[in-house]
Amino acid sequence: MDNLYISASPTTPEVSLQFDQNRLSMRGESYPENASVFYQPIIEATMSYLQKCSNKMIEVNISLGYFNSSSTKYLFNFFDALNKAAADNNHITLNWYYDDEDETILEFGEDLKEDFRSLDYHSYPIETV
């Protein structure tokens, strides 16, 4: 399966899906004009990859400084696919990075921990300068 890389733009995050290394990452901000057009290929590629995974150790790194409500829907679909794969004998570590002064992003990560219990969730503050 081919890896997927999408460069960051002013309104979309950098996405690096390194399927050959079992490492999936997103970082930046997410408020695309059309969240479906941006996220659907990411979710489809991830689901296709996960369907072929069995007993894999997968690392997911998410560092989003901001995301709008339309992005949230697709992010939940992304995490739901990961959670299902984790429940099917894969070990998926979700590393959630947040600005140490941003309670909203921290709380969203805590909600993910509660909603997607099969993921091995860890949160890490990023100090603001």
Burial label, 43 (beta-carbon count in 10 A; 0-12, 13-18, 19+): middle
Q: The domain containing residue 34 runs over which residues? A: 4-126
pLDDT at residue number 127: 73
In whole angstroms, give the CA distance from residue 119 to residue 92: 6
In sign, the C-alpha dihedral spanning 112, 85, 31, 10 is: positive
pLDDT in tens, the chain (129 residues): 899 999 999 999 999 999 999 999 999 999 999 999 999 999 999 999 999 999 999 999 999 999 999 999 999 999 999 999 999 999 999 999 999 999 999 999 999 999 999 999 999 999 765
How many structural domains does the chain have? 1
CATH number at residue 52: 3.30.750.24
**pTM value?**
0.95
